[in-house]
Amino acid sequence: MSAKIFSIANQKGGVGKTTTAINLSAALALKGIKTLLIDLDPQGNATSGLGIEKTKNGSLYGPLHGKDSSLEKIINTKQKNLSLIPSEVDLAAIEVELAQSKNYLLKLQSCLLPIKKSGSFQAIILDCPPALGLISMNSLCAADYLIVALQCEYLAMEGLSQILNVVDQLKQAKINPTLQIGGILMTMFDIRTRLSTQVLNEVQQHFPEKIFKTIIPRSIRLSEAPSFGKTIFDYDPTSSGAIAYQNFAKEVSKRFTLL
């Protein structure tokens, strides 16, 4: 069975997108699900968040230009069942370079096809840049499911409708007609504020079938872990953030039949 591809995207930065990509990947791996995390953000936060140094020619930059194979870019991490294709600064140039090529929205889809069909992974997680540029658009065109990491603030909600409209446009244009909204994950929930509860209630009201039951709390431990190059499970496995991402991984694996 080929791997299922999940794009973790949101055009707004600072919403817990990369934190979710790292810790969802790690939690799935801990459950015995063979997982590949692909860092598509030129900043490389998912790469450094796993304690891996960015190296020249280590990213998908070459394969996106038709050079090298995406399979050659896969490296092992310290965690069993978790592999990574890292990012590097060269990816920043992709936004301009892809726009000049034919079928520029389908470059990543072509890159990932050998990996998807290899049978080596059950889940492929794409961590996108915090913008709906060509890398993020390529991610949506390559993915089976979009998971939106949504911060519990009203400004983040404004971006939600925009990215959902983009999904509809890609499907209607038949660029990726099978793309589905995998779900909306509420992040950075602060139980002490009325605002977090109001935003959560509003999303639950408008997207009752799409919102995940798991809610990721605002957590200092989640914020600290990447600076040590660790997942939350290595940094503080008993923290509220670790428990939340364990629950989220259970929900994802059940909803998308990964086990």
Residue 221 has pLDDT above 90, yes or no: yes
Burial class of 46 by CB neighbour count within 10 A (0 to 12, 13 to 18, 19+): buried
Select the highest-mean-pLDDT range: 10-14, 189-193, 203-207. Answer: 203-207
Which pLDDT value is given to residue 11? 67
* pLDDT, mean of residues 220-236: 96
What is the distance between the alpha carbons of residues 156 and 242, in angstroms, rounded to a whole number? 23
pLDDT tens digits for range 44-60: 999 999 999 988 899 99
What pTM did the predictor assign?
A: 0.95
Instruction: Compute the average pLDDT of residues 65-74.
Output: 93
Residues 23-41, mean pLDDT to the nearest whole number? 97
Q: Which domains does the chain have, with CATH numbers?
A: 4-255 (3.40.50.300)
The contacts of residue 177 (CB under 8 Å, 6+ apart) are 171
pLDDT on residue 101: 84
Q: Check pLDDT > 80 for residue 105.
A: yes
Instruction: Check whether 14 has a pLDDT greater than 80.
Output: no
Banded model confidence at residue 190, pLDDT cuts 50, 70, 90: confident
Q: How confident is the model over 136-155, as a mean pLDDT?
A: 91
| Mean pLDDT rounded to a whole number for the chain | 92
- Label residue 211 left, alpha or beta by phi (over 0 means left) and psi (-120 to 50 means alpha): beta
The per-residue pLDDT for 131 is 83
Per-residue confidence (pLDDT) for residue 160, from 0 to 100 = 85
How much is the average pLDDT of 173-192?
92
Res 100: pLDDT: 83
Percent of the chain with pLDDT over 70: 98
Res. 13 pLDDT band, cuts 50 70 90: low
- Reduced 3-state DSSP string for 227-246: HHCCCHHHHCCCCHHHHHHH
Q: What is the mean pLDDT of residues 95-116?
A: 91
Do the Cβ atoms of 236 and 225 come closer than 8 Å? yes
3-state helix, strand, coil in the chain (%, to 5): 45, 20, 35
Residue 228, pLDDT above cutoff 70: yes
Least confident of 15-19, 76-80, 176-180, 217-221: 15-19
pLDDT at 229: 96
With tokens 């598509």, the residue in question is 40
- pLDDT bin (cut points 50, 70, 90) of residue 153 is confident
Q: With 90 as the cut, is the pLDDT of residue 83 above it?
A: yes
pLDDT-derived band at 10 (thresholds 50, 70, 90) equals: confident
